[in-house]
Copies of this chain bind each other. A is one copy, B any other.
Amino acid sequence: MPFSIENTRQFLVRPGFRLADVKPASTPDVSSEAELAKDVAQHDKEISDLQENLWANARTGVEGTGAVLLVLQGMDTSGKGGLIKRLARVMHPMGLSFHAFGKPTAEEASHDFLWRVRPKLPDPGEIAVFDRSHYEDVLVQKVEGHADEAEIERRYGAIVDFENGIAASGTRIIKVMLHISREFQYANLVERLTDKKKMWKFDRADLVVRSKWGEYMAAYQIALERTSTRTAPWYVIPGDNKEYARMVVKHLLVEQLRELQQPWPRPVDDLETARKHLDAT
């Protein structure tokens, strides 16, 4: 049986979810590398068409055209950047935006944590992909103690309200944690210290985060529990096999894009007259 939308449901964060139960190196419901490669390619044409359909509707002013927000979280080297690269290859750059949220600037830090996120939300017809997001504010900020527990507690609720508002405006939200193992990260970091083309990505600060792996997993566990909702669900996807994780994310994307699909817009009512006008030029 080929991998299907139904198969993605096993990664959905539901009540009782335990991060520790997800095996980063597993590739459920895919039996061979060949099958995986086939599936990765399979959706590309469909994603491309569906995205153009979405964009076309927005551009021609069709009322009620939706949007998609894809939030990517994961530890360093979990493959967020590589996934983004693959998504960019499939979709038209107009109507597609990528935003990386790093350490807040002084100005960003002086505002509420959602302040810097709002301007990056997708307009109708657009797909926005967040490389890290407002979730950093309940992950790194919690672990590093940059915000106190009461503030972190407030933020879980603020995030749910924020995302409900986004969903109510017609934007589909997909939240993905690319879940890698500590061993896989080690191998990736060794590669960064070895491959001269990758060395620039090595950052000593990443080692500090790595040394607090358990605390980060605990922070993820709570954040996932508290913010996985019907309108903005979390999916925790095994990440040690990057091709596998990309395939699953493409399935989630296709699902939302299919639901947003509308007839191709037809701004010209009378084709015959339009053709006559064209022929007359």
Contact stretch, chosen from A14-22, A173-181, A199-207: A199-207
A12 → chain B, closest Cβ, in Å? 27
B88, B264, B271: the one within 8 Å of A93 (CB):
B88
Residue of chain B at shortest CB distance from A196: B264
Identify A264's interface contact among B92, B186, B199, B207, CB under 8 A.
B199
Contact partner, A199, options B200, B207, B211, B267, Cβ 8 Å: B267
**B268 in contact with A199 (CB, 8 Å):** yes
Is the CB of A189 closer than 8 A to any CB of chain B?
A: yes
Q: How far is the CB of A41 from chain B (nearest CB, A)?
A: 14
Q: Does A100 touch B at the CB level, under 8 Å?
A: yes
Query: For the complex, is A52 an interface residue (Cβ under 8 Å from B)?
Result: yes
Number of copies of this protein chain within its complex: 2
| Residues of chain B with a CB closer than 8 A to A207's CB | 277-278, 281
In the complex with contacts A196-B266, A281-B210, A98-B94 CB distance below 8 A: yes
Taking a contact as CB atoms under 8 Å apart, the answer to whether A274 and B202 are in contact is yes
Determine whether A275 belongs to the interface, using a CB cutoff of 8 Å to chain B: yes
Which A79-113 residues have a C-beta within 8 angstroms of B? 81, 84-85, 88-89, 92-94, 96, 98, 100
Distance of A190 Cα from B279 Cα, bound (Å): 9
Instruction: Indicate the size class of the contact surface on chain A.
Output: 35 or more
Contact check, B84 vs A197: say whether CB atoms are below 8 A apart.
no
Whether A267 pairs with B93 at a CB distance below 8 angstroms is no
**Is A204 in contact with B277, judged by CB distance below 8 angstroms?**
yes
Per-residue CB contact flags for chain A residues 148-164 toward chain B (1 = under 8 Å, else 0) read 00000000000000000
A265 within 8 A of B: yes
Residues on B with C-beta less than 8 A from A98 are 93-94
Contact digits for A256-281, partner B, Cβ 8 Å, 1 yes 0 no: 00000000111110010011011001
Known: A88-B93, A207-B277. 13 other contacts (CB 8 A): A52-B197, A56-B201, A57-B200, A59-B200, A81-B94, A190-B275, A190-B278, A193-B278, A197-B264, A200-B264, A204-B274, A207-B281, A211-B281
Q: What are 27 inter-chain pairs, A to B, with CB distance below 8 A?
A: A49-B197, A52-B197, A53-B197, A56-B200, A81-B92, A81-B94, A84-B92, A84-B94, A88-B88, A88-B93, A93-B98, A94-B98, A94-B131, A186-B278, A193-B271, A193-B274, A197-B264, A199-B266, A199-B267, A200-B264, A200-B265, A200-B266, A200-B267, A204-B277, A207-B277, A207-B278, A207-B281
Which residues of A does B touch, CB under 8 Å? 49, 52-53, 56-57, 59-60, 81, 84-85, 88-89, 92-94, 96, 98, 100, 131, 186, 189-190, 193, 196-197, 199-204, 207, 210-211, 264-268, 271, 274-275, 277-278, 281
